[in-house]
Amino acid sequence: MFGLTMKRFSVLLIVALAATALACGQSGEKAATGPSNQVVLPDGTIATATPLPRVPAPDEVPDGMEAVWEAYSILVREYVEREKIDPEKLAAGAIQGMVEALDDRHTAYIDATTLKIEQDNFQGKFEGIGAHVEQAKDGKHVIIVAPLPDSPAEKAGIRAGDLIIAVDGENAEGWNVQQAVNRIRGPRGTSVELTVEHIGEAVAVKVRIVRGTIEQPSVRGRLLEDEPYGVIKINTFTAETHKEVRVEADKFIKAGARGLVLDLRQNPGGLLTSVVDIASDFLKDGLVTYEIDGRGNRQDWPVRAGGKYQDMPVVILVDAFSASGSEVLAGAMQDHGRAVVIGTKTFGKGSVNFLRELSNGGGLYLTVARWYTPNGRLLEEIGVPPDVIIESPSNVSARTFTDDVQLSAAIKQLNFQTGISSAR
């Protein structure tokens, strides 16, 4: 990278970023100055200072970063309160400022504490309220994508689509996902108060939630009592999800099921490899998805051989909170003509995001590419439009079988595909 070793470049960049942090922290007001060696003080006095020689940036500093290096060198030599110059704090603030300047709601700086929380998600359980959150499309708020089933959040009345207004009375406007998670998570037995706006309701409400230990099952299945179909609810895509889907599908087939409903509603995504494995069980060949990075490089994710359910009738349910990997799966099945997609247009989170750890214990969660469906449809900000639009009640987490109009539509579609009369 610019002929530097990674270690040396990292040192230079952290130092340079520190200056950016201090610049980002300014109030926005410019000091009134006279000639280069005169400064107008707040009381109107003109003070004369002898400036130190400018320190040119080393040749290794990339083009465009020279002024940042120079600013930092001035600060460390001349700033009056040197005890405030904490390189670690400045570097963290600088990284945060640079990320925010990208104006990408899916790219964020994660501090060391939050990174530990994020890593705990992959252990199968964590302590908190039990809700998936995502950046709202306006970039200024965080919303609840879905409370986990039977979680403290769901039991307290948190709903999919809730806009987080405040946490413990602190205004949450302008927070990114990591900031929200860091404030909402906490040890079991402790409580947190969320001020939220429910969809369709103008008045915000306060919801107090007692945190608990949250188990994260990725799949739940049930065989419908009066219909020959199984419903597989995929909550997220983990390393175990493909195996869990197969267990449920095999159980249903053994019991005589003639079709499957893949319920991807409120599914925020997860591991792409898991999505590819699941899609490959239903598709015969071709692509599941492809991605294009910032340099225009394309990577294909082909269907893997050996699918077990290539002839099983399938219907997919989605909603406005189906995001990321769930959109990849729904889009692939739709493009291949393999499943009818029922519900409402999905969230539109079609970005490929990686977590890159940093030497300070934090990390960068950044967008590196965009996903496309096999037929070339961009998912980012667009989503997957359903084949059959069926609106659902706003409080989807409290929905029961009898008023689940989207599931009822899926049953009718499977009856049509299998030739089973719905008037039995």
Domains and CATH numbers, the chain: 6-24+39-101 (no CATH), 112-215 (2.30.42.10), 219-418 (3.90.226.10)
pLDDT at 113 over 50: yes
| One-letter amino acid of 360 | N
pLDDT at 40: 61
pLDDT in tens, 343-356: 999 999 998 888 88
Q: How far apart are the first and last CA of the chain?
A: 69
- Is 408 assigned a catalytic role? no
pLDDT at 155 over 50: yes
Residues paired with residue 192 on neighbouring β-strands, in sequence order = 209
Which residue has tokens 């893949």?
262
Q: Which position among 324, 326, 392, 397 bears the catalytic label?
A: 324
Confidence class of residue 60 from pLDDT cuts 50, 70 and 90? confident
pLDDT at 148: 83
Instruction: Please provide the average confidence, as pLDDT, over all residues in the chain.
Output: 83
CA distance 197 to 194: 10
The residue that leads in pLDDT, 256 or 16, is 256
Q: Which position among 151, 274, 322, 349 bears the catalytic label?
A: 349
pLDDT at 36 over 90: no
pLDDT at 66: 80
Strands (E), 190-240: 191-197, 205-210, 212-215, 219-223, 229-234
Angle between helices 272-280 and 325-335 (to 10 degrees): 30
pLDDT in tens, 313-338: 999 999 998 999 999 999 999 999 99
Q: Which position among 111, 319, 335, 404 bears the catalytic label?
A: 335
pLDDT at 269 over 50: yes
- Is 351 assigned a catalytic role? no
pLDDT at 4 over 60: no
pLDDT at 317: 97
- Is 206 assigned a catalytic role? no
